[in-house]
A and B are shown apart, each in its own frame.
Chain A
């Protein structure tokens, strides 16, 4: 991983980022393309404009608390966010993320990741690497949740299951 091209920007946000900040109610009547333009607009005004596919969010506690609206996840996916790293998540947001194929890494202590110059990369094996190198302790993710990410979310997984059933 010496190739600078494959390293991505890390966006930093604080504690308690709620679903309404990720997918504001005023735009909920529109498609995810419109909602995504306003994602985190109240917190990081340049995020939606400048975020690039493969970028990573390092957040404080309780990322995604609030509503069940999965547009909060869909907006991040639409913008190409590869993973979120935080000490804890809203429970509903956590389920929605894996169902839509967004990797959430639970990391009790993100102190080492607070460097604004830090870059990151999510590997095919769903490991997160950092440049300069950091070793962080993360909570294990159950296999069936990683399977959801590998399948690209629950819809793709359901398609595979339904196909198998049809074939049998």
Chain B
């Protein structure tokens, strides 16, 4: 149990240093400070859900309870999992979401605009200091903005939607300090694959992870989102990065008193890594934690190179792929599929000429939606070997159990598409 803020003899003892996670939770719980291990109830500032986790489950349950949404202005609905609708079952699920959004007169609905974890911050719904929940496991993505955000299931979302509150056990904070700077051809995805290989898929044991150090400070906002997004694969409840000038610039805000950061000595565990030493990473089938050296897999031929998902198809990821592929052609027999994470990212890629570079190289453009990553229908064929920018390569997730999915950055996926076998991107980048 924690130390810190308990009342002794009627006097509040001076609090111990508070981590960013503790400060965010304390604010949402209406407390001065919180101690690790405390169970507290927090007021939710934002509840985000999508067509799969949201209306199809919430609508009947709300009706059964005879309850109403606690505050519609704090709810965001994104249609991304079953769009575009492939069949009757998908049409039914998406129709429920659309009808319910109209019926409830929801003010914040993004239909077929891209993947929730990317669309919601792009539309300005996540600000530093907020306490947010999402009906999806990659919800920690919002932590990149100095907000506390984590994923929950549909029933728990029902509880939030009815009461506006949720309980939480105050987590420890595990600091991941990255000194130095990333080399060319290495990016945030590689940092996460390295961490997951080292600590395992439940290595963070549902505690909070905070990313720090010069290599993190130097990252763009979207790259920071990749770090926090894949905190899910580390088994963290959330992944956090304190808001700074990069955050404020991206949000076009001038900062506020809610731009919290961790006090010195507030971390329960600290790990140190040198970004200069990091090389492109690869996770072999069937686990994101199954890290293997690329050099040992250069004989692995691929059928499909997939650049998609909230994890790996944001504008920055598309830029990395275009850096590798500009003016070149992918290997014959290889399919390069590109599903930009949002329409905004797609528009950016068009403006910058990146999309054209990718199409000229032989890419096929897919809709901006969860697509093959969720495995909810549009997935890969039997026995295909796929290299993918997505977050999970569980057996049977993105295709039949025989589908072999490797995970890597968009640099590595693009380089592999170019050669037709798994390739270290530094070999093909001039």
Q: Is B348 an interface residue (CB 8 A)?
A: no
- Interface size bucket, A side? 35 or more
From residue B105, how far is it (CB to closest CB) to chain A in Å? 23
Residues of A within 8 A of B375 (CB): 20, 24-26
Determine how close the nearest CB of chain B comes to the CB of A23; give it in whole angstroms.
Answer: 11
Across the interface, do B65 and A162 meet the contact criterion of CB distance under 8 Å?
yes
Q: Which residues of A contact B90 (CB under 8 A)?
A: 29
Partner of A154 from the list B64, B158, B235, B237 (CB cut-off 8 Å) is B158
Quick check: is B154 within 8 A (CB to CB) of the other chain? yes
B153 touches A73 (CB 8 A): yes
Instruction: Give B203 Cβ to nearest chain A Cβ, in Å.
Output: 10
Report B-chain residues with C-beta under 8 Å of the C-beta of A14.
none
What's the Cα separation between A92 and B150 when bound, in Å? Answer: 9
Q: Does B82 contact A (CB under 8 A)?
A: yes
User: Contacts A155-B65, A155-B158 known; A88 to B202 CB distance under 8 Å?
Assistant: yes
Known: A25-B374, A65-B201. A95 touches B153 (CB 8 A): yes
Query: Is there a chain B Cβ closer than 8 Å to A90's Cβ?
Result: yes
What string of 1s and 0s marks CB contacts (under 8 Å) between B132-160 and chain A? 00111101000000000001111110110
Residue in B167, B206, B379 whose CB lies within 8 Å of A26:
B379
> Would you give the 0/1 interface string for A67-102, flagging 1 where the beta carbon is closer than 8 Å to chain B?
111100100000000000000101110111001100
**A141 interfacial contact with B, CB 8 Å:** no
Could you say which residues of chain A place their CB within 8 Å of the CB of B374?
A: 25, 28
- CB pair B136–A68 under 8 Å, yes or no, is yes
**Residues A99 and B137 in contact, CB atoms below 8 Å apart:** no
Check: A55 CB closer than 8 A to any chain B CB: no
* CA distance in complex: A28, B66 (Å): 26
Contacts of A88 in B (CB 8 A): 202, 205
Q: CB distance B401 to A66 under 8 Å?
A: no
The interface residues of chain A lying within 8 Å CB-to-CB of B82 are 29
Q: Taking the complex as formed, is A158 at the interface, i.e. its CB lies under 8 A from any CB of chain B?
A: yes
Q: Is B237 a contact partner of A21 (Cβ separation < 8 A)?
A: no
List chain A residues, Cβ under 8 A from B410. Answer: none
For B64, the chain A residues whose CB sits under 8 A away are 155
Chain A residues near B379 (CB-CB < 8 A): 25-26
- What number of residue pairs across chains A and B have CB atoms under 8 A from each other? 122
Minimum Cβ distance to chain B for residue A24 (Å): 6
Q: B153 contacts A26, CB within 8 Å?
A: no
Q: Is the CB of B155 within 8 A of A100?
A: yes
> Is A16 in the interface zone, CB < 8 Å from B?
yes
Please determine whether A158 and B201 come into contact, CB atoms closer than 8 angstroms: no
Chain B min CB distance to A106 (Å): 12
Decide yes or no whether A153 CB sits under 8 A from chain B.
yes
> Bound state CA distance, A29 and B162, in angstroms?
25
Contacts A66-B392, A68-B152, A92-B152 given: A158-B65 contact, CB under 8 Å?
yes
- A6 contacts which chain B residues (CB < 8 A)? none
Which of A66, A73, A100, A144 is B137 in contact with, Cβ under 8 Å? A66
In the complex the two chains form, is A66's CB within 8 Å of B65's CB? no
Instruction: Compute how far the CA of A99 lies from the CA of B90 in the bound complex, rounded to whole angstroms.
Output: 26
- Name the CB-closest residue of A to B398: A25
| A residues 14-38 in Cβ contact with B at 8 Å | 16, 18, 20-21, 24-26, 28-30
Cβ contacts under 8 Å, B394 to chain A: 18, 20-21, 66
* Cα-based distance from A59 to B162 in the complex (angstroms): 34
**Interface contact B201-A28, CB-CB below 8 Å:** no
Q: How far is the CA of A154 from the CA of B159 in the complex (A)?
A: 7
* Closest B residue to A41 using CB positions: B396
Indicate which residue in B61, B134, B206 contacts A155 across the interface (CB closer than 8 Å): B61
Q: Which of B158, B206, B394, B395 has the most CB of A within 10 A?
A: B394
Residue B52 CB within 8 A of the other chain: yes
A158→B163 CA distance, assembly (Å): 9
B235 with A42: CB separation less than 8 A: no
Q: Does A142 contact B (CB under 8 A)?
A: yes
In the assembled complex, the Cα of A134 lies from the Cα of B374 at a distance in Å of 41
Residue of B89, B139, B155, B201 most packed against chain A (CB within 10 A) = B155
Interface flag for B397 (CB, 8 Å): yes
Is B396 within 8 A of A68, CB to CB? no
A-B contact pairs, 25 of them (CB 8 A): A20-B392, A20-B394, A20-B396, A25-B396, A25-B397, A26-B375, A65-B202, A68-B134, A68-B151, A68-B153, A70-B153, A70-B155, A73-B153, A90-B202, A91-B236, A92-B152, A92-B153, A95-B152, A96-B155, A96-B156, A99-B156, A99-B159, A142-B39, A154-B158, A155-B158
- For the complex of A and B, the 5 pairs showing the least CB-CB separation, nearest first, are A91-B206, A25-B375, A70-B153, A96-B153, A62-B202
4 more A-B contacts (CB under 8 A) besides A20-B394, A61-B202, A90-B235? A68-B53, A91-B235, A92-B151, A158-B65
- Where the two chains meet, the residues of A that have a C-beta atom closer than 8 Å to any C-beta of B are 16, 18, 20-21, 24-26, 28-30, 42, 61-62, 65-70, 73, 88, 90-92, 94-96, 99-100, 142, 144, 153-155, 158-159, 162
